[in-house]
Amino acid sequence: HMFASSTPSTTAQSATATHCFLTISIAGSKAKTVVIELNTDLCPKTCRNFAALCSSSETARRPVKGGVAGERNAVRTYRGTEFHRIIPKFMVQGGDYENFDGSGGGCYETGGTFSDESFQIKHDAEGIVSMANKGKNTNG
């Protein structure tokens, strides 16, 4: 499970940086806190959305099997979500607060999507964080 929080701060790299913290537990044991620096000058909407999902004090609730068709988790947060996709030595994917399987989620403010931003940051090193989407202009 992930427990997240966000703290505005400044760094030498960017005067508009925000740091988010994800505390990750494995099988109920606290594993490690990961600090993520958001590049708010290149991707302000994406960073605002990510920080908001990290900042919520509520906990996502896993959907109940056999529940009402179409019923979704109303809590928009990373807190309590799981990594639903793990590819060793490559990446982990998580944060689906609706379905817990990568098929749900959305923008913190509206639950919908927002348009693409900058593609200037290359994913060519360890530690680069992205938000998954379902194609052009489907961020959320």
77: pLDDT strictly greater than 50:
yes
The dihedral built from the CA positions of residue 82, 39, 125 and 117, taken in this order, carries a sign that is: positive
Which residues constitute the domain of residue 69?
2-94
Does 7 reside within a domain? yes
Q: How many Å apart are CA 11 and CA 113, to the nearest integer?
A: 29
Q: What average pLDDT does the segment 107-130 reach? A: 82
Does 44 reside within a domain? yes
pLDDT of residue 7: 46
Closest CA to 81 of 96, 92, 101, 66: 96
Q: What average pLDDT does the segment 3-26 reach? A: 59
Of the pLDDT bands very low, low, confident and very high (cuts 50, 70, 90), residue 70 is: low
Sheet architecture: strand order including 2-8: 2-8, 18-26, 29-38
pLDDT of residue 29: 81
Return all residues near 32 (Cβ < 8 A) that are at least 6 apart: 23, 24
pTM for the model stands at 0.77
Q: What average pLDDT does the segment 106-117 reach? A: 84
Q: How many domains does the chain have?
A: 1
Of the pLDDT bands very low, low, confident and very high (cuts 50, 70, 90), residue 64 is: low
Of the pLDDT bands very low, low, confident and very high (cuts 50, 70, 90), residue 72 is: low
* Rg, the chain, Cα only: 15
Q: What average pLDDT does the segment 74-89 reach? A: 86
Does 33 reside within a domain? yes
Contact between residue 20 and residue 5 where contact means Cβ atoms under 8 Å apart: yes
